[in-house]
Amino acid sequence: MFLFQKEKRGIVMVNFYNDYVTCKQAANISDVADHFDHIKKVAGSSIIGFGGDYDGVPRVPDGLEDVSKYPDLVAELLRRKWSEDEIRDSLGRNLLRVFSEVEEVRDHLNGTKPDDIPIPLKEVQNPCRTDFGYQDTSSSTCIKSFYPLVLILTLLNKLL
């Protein structure tokens, strides 16, 4: 995955959720820095971003309770010989680069209609998908789409 991201010049936003960081309920700044080090080793620092996810997880590492603690993580990365440029990139320049390149693609494709071709169902085998757009889902374990029902209810609501 990381090689794909590097080739595509994407970004990996490092989530601070304890269960992702250590596979346990407890984690600390050093554990998060280990994640940063691993991604840097595998794919380089150009794809790393701070992605704390403070509004979406129930637990975060000790010492990283909110964004005011970022300087402590930065100090840990500096201690681990990260350059100031690598840290600046991770704090925002990588994300800004990705958004800038996305805007270039948007501008290049302006006026082009989307293809609306669904990803083959066999490539999205997971319990968190919809069957919307697929012809035959009778043998799959996917979650049935409620889109038609929502559409009908919305239309009825407008008519009444």
Higher pLDDT, 147 or 111: 111
Residue 85 banded pLDDT, cuts 50, 70, 90: very high
Burial (0-12, 13-18, 19+ Cβ within 10 Å), 57: middle
Does residue 80 register a pLDDT over 60?
A: yes
pLDDT of residue 138: 56
Helix %, strand %, coil % for the chain, to 5?
Answer: 55, 5, 40
pTM: 0.67
What average pLDDT does this structure show over 120-132?
67
Residue 116 banded pLDDT, cuts 50, 70, 90: confident
Does residue 92 register a pLDDT over 90?
A: yes
Question: Helices 70-79 & 29-43, crossing angle to 10 degrees?
Answer: 60
What average pLDDT does this structure show over 136-154?
57
pLDDT of residue 115: 81
pLDDT of residue 28: 97
What average pLDDT does this structure show over 59-65?
95
Separation of alpha carbons 87 and 126, rounded Å:
35
Residue 123 banded pLDDT, cuts 50, 70, 90: confident
| 3 state DSSP class of 112 | coil
Is residue 27 within 8 Å of residue 62, measured between CB atoms?
A: yes
Q: Which is nearest to 64 in space by CA: 79, 77, 81, 83?
A: 77
